[in-house]
């Protein structure tokens, strides 16, 4: 995996985020990437095409960190790349001393594949907020223990 700079995030990751997560999340990412608090983001490429991203968002404490943006291009799904990206990001988080990774996602059809993958990778549901998005989709929160 290759770490992306803020400028690369804007140029490369935003179209993939918008394609895979929709306009609302794409707009949120664009705002985040324009601030100085941009999350760490890693990427996978097939030649020059960005095919997957995964990041670490803001840290909550010395032990907890949010999973940043996570997306696999639709043409490259079902080949193990999502699981590979999660494994890489968990390894990076663990090396930085984190014990827990937290995920915020949404109960909306566009996120169903990601939610299924999180659960297959031992992320456990810990809560939700009803009617979180403008379309009344619920926010769903998961976590995984990556510590010893």
Give 92-143 pLDDT, tens digit per residue: 999 989 999 999 988 888 889 899 999 999 999 999 998 877 788 888 999 9
Write down the pTM of the prediction. Answer: 0.83
What domain count does the chain have?
Answer: 1
Pair of tokens at residue 57: 């968002």
List the CATH number of the domain containing 55: 3.40.630.30
CA 87 → CA 120, 127, 143, 145, distances in Å?
Answer: 12, 23, 14, 13
Tell me the pLDDT tens digit for each residue of 24-69: 888 888 887 776 555 688 888 888 888 898 888 876 778 889 888 8
**Which residue segment(s) compose the domain that 118 sits in?**
2-145
């Amino acid at each position: 995996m290759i770490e992306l700079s803020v400028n690369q995030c804007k140029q490369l990751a935003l179209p993939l985020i918008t394609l895979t997560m929709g306009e609302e999340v794409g707009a949120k990412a664009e705002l985040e990437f324009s601030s100085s608090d941009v999350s760490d983001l890693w990427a996978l490429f097939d030649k020059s095409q960005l095919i997957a991203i995964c990041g670490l968002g803001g840290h909550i404490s010395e032990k907890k960190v949010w999973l940043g943006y996570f997306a696999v291009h639709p043409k490259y799904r079902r080949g193990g790349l999502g699981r590979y990206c999660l494994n890489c990001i968990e390894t990076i988080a663990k090396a930085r001393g984190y014990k827990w990774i937290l995920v915020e996602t949404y109960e909306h059809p566009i996120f169903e594949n990601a939610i299924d993958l999180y659960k297959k990778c031992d992320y456990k549901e810990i809560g939700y907020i009803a009617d979180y998005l403008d379309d009344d989709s619920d926010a769903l929160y998961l976590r995984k223990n990556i510590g010893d």
